[in-house]
Structure formats: C-alpha cells, structure tokens
Amino acid sequence: MKKSALVPGLCSMLLLLWSCGDGSHNHSTHHESLATETGHEGEDPHDHEAAHGDEERHGNEEGHRPAHSDEIIISPEKAEAIGIMTETVQPAPFAGVIRTGGQILPAQGDERTVAATSDGIISFTGTWAEGARVGKGEPIFSILSGNIQDGDRIGRARVAYETAKAEYERASGLVGSKIIPMKEFLTIKENYENARMSYEALKPNADGTGASVEAPFEGFIKSIFVKDGDFVTLGTPLASVTQNRRLVLKADLSQRHYGMLHEITSANFSTQYSDKAVSISSLGGRLLSVGKGSADSSYYIPVTFEFDNRGSIVPGSFAQVWLLTSGKKNAISVPVSALTEEQGAYFVYLKLDESCYRKQEVRPGESNGARTEILSGLKPGDEVVTEGAYNVKLASASNVIPAHTHNH
C-alpha cells in the first residue's frame, strides 16, 4: 500500500525537474535570438543605433543633401543640341508702345506701270509671270498692229523716218556747195529729227513687225494686266514693275492716341507669314510722316515709315504694328521668346550654373513685339534663357531629367 503511493509522487517530481530545465534553455535561446535581430553579434543595440546616426550625419557632412525639387538639370551638351541660349539681365531704355495695325506698300518711285505705246495685239516676248525678274530695257511685250483697221502705225512711222533720213542725207551733201540754201536744209533736218523721234518712241521690236514694251528698270514684275492676244490701245496699262528696294509701312493710329503723335519715334512690325517682329531701325528705316488728321471716312490717323526691303517682305501685305514712343530709361526687359505662360501666369527660366536651371515667375509689362518689359521677378545679373525656353519647360514637366542632388 505504501509502496504504490510513493511511485506516483516520485514520477511527479522527476517531471517537474525536467520541465524547469527545458524552460530555462528556451528562455536563453530566445534572448540570443533577440540580440541577433536587434544588433550585430556582440554589439549592444543602443550602440548599433548610435552608429547609424553617426553614419547619417557623416553622409550629410559629405554633401549628400536632399534634392532641390525646383531645379532642372540639363547637361551643356544637351543644352547646345536643343538650342538653349541665354542673356544676362541689364537695365536699358525701353520705349512706350502703342499697338495697332497697318499695311506695307511700295515706296514712291519704286514701282512703275508700263503702258502700250501703240494700238495693236499683245504678244508676250517670253513666259512672263508675276514675280519674274526683269532687267532694265528687257522686252516684256510686243504690240503687233499690222492687221488692224487703222493700219500698221509702226510701218507708217518707219517709212516716214526712212524717207526723212534719205532726204536729210541728200541735203547734207548739197548744202556745203550751196546748191540748196541753208534755210531749206534746216527745214529738212527738222523733219528728219521729228520722224526719227516718232519712230523711236514706238520702240519697234527686233524684226520691225511691232512695238516693243520694255522694263523701265531692273526689278520684278508685280502684276500683269493683259493676256496674250488681247487688243490694246495707246496708253493701256500692261504690267507693273517694282524694284522692291524701298518699302513703306503705313500704320493706322487711333484718334484716342492723338496726344502721343509727337512722341512716336520708330516702330516694330510683324506680318502674317512671319511671327518674328522686325524693327524699322534695323532695316535702315525712318519716320517719314505723321498725319495731322484723319480722312473723312476713317477713324485713324496715318503714320508712315520708309525702310529697306531685305528681300523677305511682300508689298501689299498687312502687318501688326507696335509704334514706339519715348519711354523708360532703365527698365528690365527680356526677348518675347523667353516668356512661357501657364494658366495665366508668366514664367522665365534662369540659368544657375553650367547645367542647372530654375523656373521663375515674373510680372510682364508692355511688349514692343520683340521684347517685353518685366515689372517684377528679375534683377540685374540674372541669366535668362532666351532661346529654347519651351524645351526647358518640357524637361521640367516630363520629369525626364532628375532633380539636382549634388551627388558625386
């Protein structure tokens, strides 16, 4: 009875001792695992955190600063490839501006109309068309009058000329020997000169079958008013020839700006076929006249400029005009191409160093078509992108180019 009671108690004690030993082992193992997860072997976790802090501070000391999100990086090679050009901001005179419209016209004496020298049928001497270049004295038309009702005027003039010439040559040999009196000789000579001038005024063509109409000077055929085979009479306009060397810009000034007439000094203009504004002064131009009043049926006062045509301006075209007046002496301005617009706000791009750019908001003032005054946002010495600003804007918007991190 006693023996059977001792056996269960002994088993319970042995089980308890085994459990305590196994639990102690697991607890030690758990602590070792935590040490491995929180730090390196043989290292205090607090020491490990301190080491990481030192490393971060060391990285910042070496220049690994956070990125500047407003900077745009473009390498010098890429900037050259996409045509980026800059300009240093400097105060300079900036004229006041009156914006209006106008028209480009030929200058006085720079265009001539050629007319028919006799009655007859028009015949083109070549494949002439508007815009064709002609030389001085070059035949453009022939006027054939052999088959018209009034007869061949050139033929009659030629016969009269040849008859008077023969009579004059005969009299010249007789007057020396006093066979005919001097008074009669002078009459014969006068008849000859009149016949010669009448014949030459008709400008006969090479074969004498018609009158030749020639270009009055070297230039271009602006307009042709007749067709091959048309019948014309004496004085009928046939074509207009222009030299296009000098042109006139006639600007229309509203009457509400009449008080500023005396302040107008020059002008810029652009045409529908060119967005670039051109300065009158850069074309050797000058202010020709300022109207003192408007026409009866017009609300505008004419302001006229004359300038050289460098070959790219078409007479007769309409133009947008910026009349320039006396303005500020020390204003900050940038080329029109430097400005970009986003939702009503205007920006330029500043070049900070060889490869770094930044977008800068500005407040624009008046524009003369070529440059725009900047009222705020820029200061002297700033380097502004004047060509290629749109490409810089695309680079900024697309995030193709990473931010400037100064990493080495």
User: What are 133-167's pLDDT values in tens digits?
Assistant: 999 989 999 888 776 666 667 777 888 999 999 99
For 24-93, the three-class secondary structure string (H helix, E strand, C coil) is HHHHHHHHHHHHHHHCCCCCCHHHHHHHHHHHHHHHHHCCCCCCECCEEECCHHHHHHCCCEEEECCCEE
CA distance 155 to 144: 10
Residue 378 has pLDDT above 70, yes or no: yes
Q: Is 93:328 a contact under the CB 8 Å cutoff?
A: yes
Residue 70 has pLDDT above 80, yes or no: no
For the segment 111-121, what is each residue's pLDDT rounded down to a tens digit?
899 999 888 88
Structure tokens at 267: 């002008």
Per cent of the chain over pLDDT 90 is 34
Query: Of 176-180, 314-318, 399-403, where does mean pLDDT reach its minimum?
Result: 399-403
User: What 3-state class would DSSP assign to 140?
Assistant: strand
- pLDDT category at 87 given cuts 50, 70, 90 is very high
Q: Is 156:128 a contact under the CB 8 Å cutoff?
A: no
Where is pLDDT greater, at 99 or 53? Answer: 99
* Domains in the chain, CATH or no CATH each: 2-61 (no CATH), 71-91+332-398 (2.40.420.20), 97-107+245-330 (2.40.30.170), 112-242 (2.40.50.100)
CA distance 361 to 376: 9
Give the N- to C-terminal CA distance of the chain in Å, as an integer. Answer: 89
Residue 26 has pLDDT above 60, yes or no: no
Where is pLDDT greater, at 53 or 321? Answer: 321
Torsion angle in degrees (nearest 10) through CA of 183, 188, 191, 195:
-160
CA distance 87 to 378: 12
- pLDDT category at 247 given cuts 50, 70, 90 is very high
Residue 108 has pLDDT above 60, yes or no: yes
Sign of CA dihedral 250, 255, 259, 260: negative
CA distance 187 to 191: 6
Compute the average pLDDT of residues 372-394. 91
Residue 402 has pLDDT above 70, yes or no: no
CA distance 189 to 101: 60
Residue 340 has pLDDT above 50, yes or no: yes
Average pLDDT over the chain, rounded to whole?
Answer: 78
Compute the average pLDDT of residues 317-337. 89
CB atoms within 10 A of CB 161: 20
Exposure of 115 in the CB half-sphere (CA atoms within 13 A): 8
Q: What are phi and psi of 6, to 5 degrees?
A: -75, -25
For the segment 32-53, what is each residue's pLDDT rounded down to a tens digit?
333 333 344 444 444 444 444 4
Q: Is 287:305 a contact under the CB 8 Å cutoff?
A: yes
Residue 267 has pLDDT above 80, yes or no: yes
User: What 3-state class would DSSP assign to 173?
Assistant: helix
Query: Among 399, 266, 304, 332, which Cα is nearest to 93's?
Result: 332
